[in-house]
Amino acid sequence: MAVVSTAVSTQKETPRLERADGVARVAFALRQIAGREETRLADLFQDGSAKVRLPKVYDGSGPAAVFLNSAGGVTGGDHLTFEARLGAGTTATVTTQAAERIYRRSEGVGRIENRLVVEAGANARWLPQETIIFDGAGLRRRFDVDLMGDARLIAVESIVLGRTAMGEEVNSVDLSDHWRVRRDGRLVYADALRLSGDSQVILSGGATGRGARAFASVLVAAPEAASQLDRVRELIAALARDGLEAGASVFDGLLSIRCLALDGRHLRAIVEPLIETLTGWPLPRAWSI
């Protein structure tokens, strides 16, 4: 009699987890409408979980592109790319539908690549809502901007460590966030943030954050940027309070503003009026939905 032996492996296979991947692009150009030039949509592409929405704007501030991630958040292994291009002489706002959430990962890091091209005479407002970093999250993010001629840019990026209203603490994080802004091919602004380890310990120092749990960078790149410094500093002084710090400086056609706060609510208390002051327009409607 033949004896057949079947070996059964006792080692469990690691389940293959689904990963979010997506690319979204939008472009605007001037069009002749009823005898006058208006900023209109010129191109739109979306693939995977990266999407674009184009809500109607009635306040006269120009069209808005709203980026969103239909996956509902980012975790290790996810990769999203968002791109916008403003043609010569156009004015438009790029924002997000909601705060982006970076969740705990089982392995790897999430990647987000943001790219913006602003042609001569165009006015770009890059105004995404906050990025919320959860405990155990990992993120690599880049923001690359190409400005041409006298193009103008107002940009903001806000990061909040956990949802403090729910008592969340971020004890382990691996965050890397890079800005690169070029004008006519020349690098005019470079900024890099690296936060790796226990965020509460790292940000507790007097030179690192003094206990801040939320922070934002605001950048104005425009020929007249320096003329806005006094107005911005006056606004910062008027909004100063416990748990909230901000400072502004100018150089080489740039106005750079840094904000630190104990939580996301306090951060918005200064970021929102700063944006409205710098743009001269109300916040994108998505910010209040």
Q: Rounded to two decimals, what is the model's pTM?
A: 0.91
Domain hosting 219: range is: 74-288
CA-wise closest residue to 57 among 32, 91, 27: 91
How many CA atoms lie within 13 Å of 93's alpha carbon, on the beta-carbon side? 30
Q: Is residue 162 part of a domain?
A: yes
**Residues 211, 205: contact at Cβ < 8 Å?**
no
**Residues 75, 137: contact at Cβ < 8 Å?**
yes
Q: Is residue 37 part of a domain?
A: no
Q: Is residue 59 part of a domain?
A: no
Q: Which helix (H) or strand (E) holds 39?
A: strand 36-48
Residue 4 clears pLDDT 80, i.e. is over it? no
The reported pLDDT for the residue numbered 1 is: 46
Q: Is residue 245 part of a domain?
A: yes
Read off the pLDDT of residues 225-274 as tens digits, 9 standing for 90 and up.
999 999 999 999 999 887 789 999 999 999 999 999 999 999 999 999 99
CA distances from residue 38 to 30, 54, 62, 91, 105 in whole angstroms, order as listed: 5, 16, 9, 9, 44
Residue 10 clears pLDDT 60, i.e. is over it? no
Q: Is residue 112 part of a domain?
A: yes
Q: What tokens were used for 82?
A: 């968002």
Q: Is residue 171 part of a domain?
A: yes
Q: What tokens were used for 56?
A: 């109607």
Residue 5 clears pLDDT 50, i.e. is over it? no
Q: Is residue 191 part of a domain?
A: yes
The reported pLDDT for the residue numbered 80 is: 98
The reported pLDDT for the residue numbered 146 is: 98
Q: Please work out, in degrees rounded to the nearest 5, the angle formed at the alpha carbon of residue 83 by the alpha carbons of 288 and 28.
A: 80
How many folded domains does the chain comprise? Answer: 1
Q: Is residue 207 part of a domain?
A: yes
